[in-house]
Amino acid sequence: MDIEKVLKCLTNSFSRFIHLAMFGASTNLPSQHDYKYVANSLKLFKRALDNIGQSCMHSDEVLCKELEELDVAVNEAREFIENWNFHMSKIYGVVQSKQLISKIQRDSIKICETVYGLIESSSSTSSTSILADIKHFMDELKNLNSETTAEKFEDALNFIKEQKVPPLELILEIIELFRLSSSQELLKESIAVEKENVIVDQPSQISYISDLVFHIRETMVNLESFKTINGVPVPAYFICPLTLQLMFDPVIVSTGQTYERDSIQKWLDNGLLRCPVTLQTLSHTNLIPNYTVKGLISNWCDKNNVKVDHPDKSTSEDQLVSNLTIENGFDRLSFQKSNHRSTEESCSHSRSGSTSTVVSSSEHLCEETASDAGVSPNDSTTFSHVKRVVTDLKSPSNETQTKAAEQIRFLAKNNMENRILIGQSGAIQPLISLLHSNQKLTQEHAVTALLNLSINGNIKSMIAESGAVEPLIYVLETGNTCAKENAAAALFSLSLLEEYRVKIGQSGAIKPLVDLLGSGTLRGKKDAATALFNLSIFHENKARIIQAGAVKYLVELMDPETQMVDKAVALLSNLASVPEGCLVIAREGGIPLLVEVVETGSQRGKENATSILLQLCLNSPKYCRLVLQEGAVPPLVALSQSGTSRAKEKAQQLLSHFRSQRENSSGRGKS
C-alpha cells in the first residue's frame, strides 16, 4: 500500500469533517460539543500526519490499514452530521454520536501508538517534533468526556436495563436536557424513536430507548394532571398520552387505550403499528370514538366553566395536506358549464382578480357546481349510495364515468366520513384507471377525487399501494391545466409517505414537475415547488431535480414579483446541500438574488438564503469572493442580531467563515 495516498485521503477527510463540525452542523445536533472537541483535536493530528508522509518512515501495512479504518470512522461521523435533521430522534442521536465519536477515539489512539513506535525506532531528525504533536493529540482525545446529556442518558438507560424505573429527578433532567417539555417536541421524539425501532439493526438498544420515552411520557402526563384549569385539577385520564393535552376528540385503539384522534392518526400515518402506551402490536388501525370519555370531559368542562378549543393540528402530516387545500386549492374547479368556455379557460379565469375575490367566487361556484353534480360538498352520504357511484365509475359510458368521478370528487371534498366510506367501497382502483381516460374532464375529476381522498392518512396509503404514482405522472404530462396542478399536489400528498419519496423520484415524476415549475400558472408553479421540495428530502432525488433543470427556474422565481420567493429559496436550500447544486446555483446567477433575499426577504426566506450562501462559501473560495462582492456582510450582520434563531446561527457561521478566509489569506501573504 502507498502510505502517501492513504495519508492524503485521510487528511482530506479530516478537513471536511472539521469544517462541517465547526461551521455547518445543525444547532440541535446531538453531542454537538463533543463533535467540535473532536474536530479541534483532529486539527492537531492533521498537522502531525502532514509531516509523517515526508519522514523517513517506511510504508507499514498495519499502519495503512489503521489509517483506512480511521478514514471510514471520520466519514461515517461526517455523514451523520450531514444527514441529521429535526425529524430524527434526539435521544437515539446521542447514542449514535457516542458510538461514532468513540470509534474515532479508539482508531486514532491506536494509530498514534503504532506511529509512535515506528518513529521512535527510526533515526529521523524530525521525529522529536512529530512525537510531541502525537503525544499532545493522544492526551487531548483521552481527556474527551461525554456531554452531560449523554451521561444522564446512560444513567437512565442503566435503570431501564435493570428493569427499574429511573428516578423522577433523573427523568426531569433528561426532559430538560433534551428539551422535551413541549408536547409537540415529545410527540415528535416519540414518533422518531418508534420509527427507529422499526428499522434499526440493534433492537435491544432502541427498545431500551423506547421504554425510556414511555417513562418520560408517563411522567409528563402525571405532571400535567397536577396542573389546574380555573383552579381545578385535570383528571389524568382526560389527558392524551401523546399530546399531553386535554382531549378534544378521544378515540380508542385496538389495545383499549384512548388517545386524541389527531395525535394517534399522526402516529399511524408514520407507519407505526404499536400502541404508544402498551407497546403491543395493534391488531387493526381503526379508531373508535370514545363517547364515554368525551362525555365525561364535556360534563367536567361545563361544570368547571372550562372552554375546550380544538387542538392545533399544524404538525400533522394530513393537516399539512389540508392546509394546502386552502393554500393550493386542492379542489380547483374549472366551473365549466356544458355550453360555456373550455376547462383551461375557466380554470385560468377562476384565479384572476384579487385573492379575496377569487376565494369568495370559488366557494360560491364550487357549491353551484357541486349542486349540479347532485351533491353538496359538505353533505354526508350512505355506503349504498357510494357503492352505486363506484359501480358507475366502471361503466362503459364515458358520460356515466365522468358524472360518477365528479360526484366522488365533491363527496370527498370536505367530509371526513365520506372519504372513509369511499375508501372502503373500492373506489380507489377505478379512479386510478380513469387517470388514463381520453376525456380530459373525466381525468380532471378522477385526479381531484384522489387528491381529496388522500387527505385521510389510511386512504393515502391505499392510493399509493394501488399503483397511483405512474398514472398521476401520466396526468402531469397529458392533462389539462387543472388536472396537471392537482396531479402535482397529489404526488406531494403521496410523498408524505416516506418510502414513496424514493418511488416517485425513480418513476419519472421529477422532469414533468420541473416543467410545470417553469411553464405552469402561478398555482401550478407553487404545486410543483411544494412537491419537489418534499421529494428533495430524499438525497438521491436532489441530483435528479438539479439535472432536470429546476435551478434555472428557481433562480428566476426569486424575483419578488413572482410571489414565489420563499418556496424557491426553500427548495434551493435543499439542493445546495450537494456540490452540484452549489455549482448550478452560482452558474445560473443565483448569488446576487440570494444576497437580496437576505437583505429584503421574509424571515423564512432570509434564513434559507443564508443557509444556501453558507453552503456555497464552504464549497468554494470563488463563491465566497462572489458573495462578498455582492455586499453580503451588512445584511448578514443585521440578520445575526435580529433574525430567527436558525438565521442568526447561519449568519454568524458565514461571517466567521469570511473572517477565517481573510486570516488565511493574510497568513499566506506574510509567508
Which residues are CB-contacts of 177 (< 8 A; sequence separation ≥ 6)? 148, 149, 152, 153
Q: How confident is the model at residue 128 (pLDDT cuts 50, 70, 90)?
A: low
Q: Are residues 195 and 173 in the same domain?
A: yes
Q: Is residue 591 part of a domain?
A: yes
| pLDDT score of 442 | 95
* Gap between the Cα atoms of 181 and 204, Å rounded: 26
Instruction: Identify the CA nearest to 30 among candidates 108, 79, 88.
Output: 88
Q: Of 270, 303, 336, which one is at a domain's C-terminal end?
A: 303
Query: In DSSP terms, which residues pair with 274 in a beta bridge?
Result: 281
Q: Are residues 603 and 670 in the same domain?
A: yes
Looking at 415-564, list the stretches that DSSP marks H as alpha helix, in order from N- to C-terminal side: 416-424, 428-434, 440-453, 457-465, 469-478, 481-495, 498-506, 510-519, 522-535, 539-547, 550-556
Say yes or no to pLDDT of 568 above 70. Answer: yes
Structural domain containing residue 91: 3-146
| pLDDT score of 416 | 75
Mean pLDDT of all residues in 486-515: 89
Helix (H, G, I), strand (E, B), or coil: what is residue 399? helix
* Gap between the Cα atoms of 141 and 5, Å rounded: 25
- R_g over Cα of the chain: 29
* Gap between the Cα atoms of 311 and 151, Å rounded: 36
Q: Are residues 454 and 322 in the same domain?
A: yes
Say yes or no to pLDDT of 402 above 90. Answer: yes
Quote the Cα angle for 416-417-420, to 5°.
90
| pLDDT score of 332 | 35
| pLDDT tens, position by position, 300-332 | 888 888 876 555 443 333 333 333 332 333 343
- pTM of this prediction exceeds 0.85: no
Q: Are residues 541 and 562 in the same domain?
A: no
Which amino acid, one-letter code, is at 36?
Answer: K
Quote the Cα angle for 348-350-352, to 5°.
75
In three-state form (DSSP H/G/I as H, E/B as E, the rest C), the secondary structure along 573-636 is HHHCCCHHHHHHHHHCCHHHHHHHHHHHCCHHHHHHHHHHHHHHHHHCHHHHHHHHHCCCHHHH
Q: Are residues 344 and 334 in the same domain?
A: yes
| pLDDT score of 309 | 58
| pLDDT score of 381 | 64
Q: Are residues 355 and 365 in the same domain?
A: yes
Say yes or no to pLDDT of 508 above 60. Answer: yes
Q: Are residues 320 and 419 in the same domain?
A: yes
Helix (H, G, I), strand (E, B), or coil: what is residue 184? helix
- Check if the beta carbon of residue 105 is closer than 8 Å to that of residue 112: no
| pLDDT score of 41 | 80
Quote the Cα angle for 468-470-475, to 5°.
90
Instruction: Identify the CA nearest to 616 among candidates 571, 648, 555, 573.
Output: 573
Which amino acid, one-letter code, is at 357?
Answer: T
Mean pLDDT of all residues in 478-493: 92
- Check if the beta carbon of residue 534 is closer than 8 Å to that of residue 501: yes
Q: Are residues 346 and 394 in the same domain?
A: yes
| pLDDT tens, position by position, 613-624 | 999 998 888 899
Say yes or no to pLDDT of 222 above 80. Answer: no
H or E segment and range at residue 50: helix 32-52
H or E segment and range at residue 289: strand 288-289
Q: Is residue 445 part of a domain?
A: yes
Which residues are CB-contacts of 426 (< 8 A; sequence separation ≥ 6)? 387, 390
Residue with the three cell numbers 440570494: 594
Which amino acid, one-letter code, is at 479?
Answer: G
Q: Which of 50-64, 156-170, 563-577 has the lowest mean pLDDT?
A: 50-64
Q: How confident is the model at residue 512 (pLDDT cuts 50, 70, 90)?
A: very high
Number of domains, the chain: 4
Q: Is residue 311 part of a domain?
A: no
| pLDDT tens, position by position, 242-285 | 888 888 899 999 888 889 999 899 889 888 888 888 878 888 88
| pLDDT score of 642 | 83
* Gap between the Cα atoms of 209 and 468, Å rounded: 37
Q: Are residues 170 and 288 in the same domain?
A: yes
Q: Of 146, 164, 198, which one is at a domain's C-terminal end?
A: 146
| pLDDT score of 350 | 29
| CATH number of the structural domain spanning residue 290 | 3.30.40.10
| CATH number of the structural domain spanning residue 481 | 1.25.10.10
Q: Is residue 389 part of a domain?
A: yes
- Count the Cβ atoms, other than its own, within 10 Å of residue 124: 17
Q: Is residue 217 part of a domain?
A: yes
Q: Is residue 649 part of a domain?
A: yes
| pLDDT score of 64 | 83
Mean pLDDT of all residues in 158-187: 81
| pLDDT score of 570 | 92
Q: Are residues 69 and 167 in the same domain?
A: no
Q: Is residue 310 part of a domain?
A: no
Say yes or no to pLDDT of 360 above 80. Answer: no
Mean pLDDT of all residues in 465-484: 93
Q: What are phi and psi of 477, to 5 degrees?
A: -90, -30
DSSP state, 182? S
What's the mean pLDDT when you consider all of the chain? 79
Q: What is the grid cell recorded at 491?
A: 404526488
Mean pLDDT of all residues in 117-145: 67
* Gap between the Cα atoms of 117 and 105, Å rounded: 18
Q: Mean pLDDT highest for which of 28-37, 273-282, 405-414?
A: 405-414
Say yes or no to pLDDT of 452 above 70. Answer: yes
| pLDDT score of 202 | 52
Q: Are residues 537 and 593 in the same domain?
A: no
Say yes or no to pLDDT of 375 above 80. Answer: no
Mean pLDDT of all residues in 635-653: 87
Per the model's pLDDT, the better-predicted residue between 15 and 343 turns out to be 15
Q: How confident is the model at residue 352 (pLDDT cuts 50, 70, 90)?
A: very low
Q: Are residues 200 and 296 in the same domain?
A: yes
Q: Of 252, 269, 303, which one is at a domain's C-terminal end?
A: 303
- Count the Cβ atoms, other than its own, within 10 Å of residue 446: 32
Q: Mean pLDDT highest for which of 75-84, 203-212, 368-377, 539-548?
A: 539-548
Instruction: Identify the CA nearest to 378 among candidates 348, 419, 342, 422.
Output: 419
Q: Is residue 73 part of a domain?
A: yes
- Conformational region of residue 629, where left means phi above 0, alpha means psi within -120 to 50, and beta covers everything else: alpha
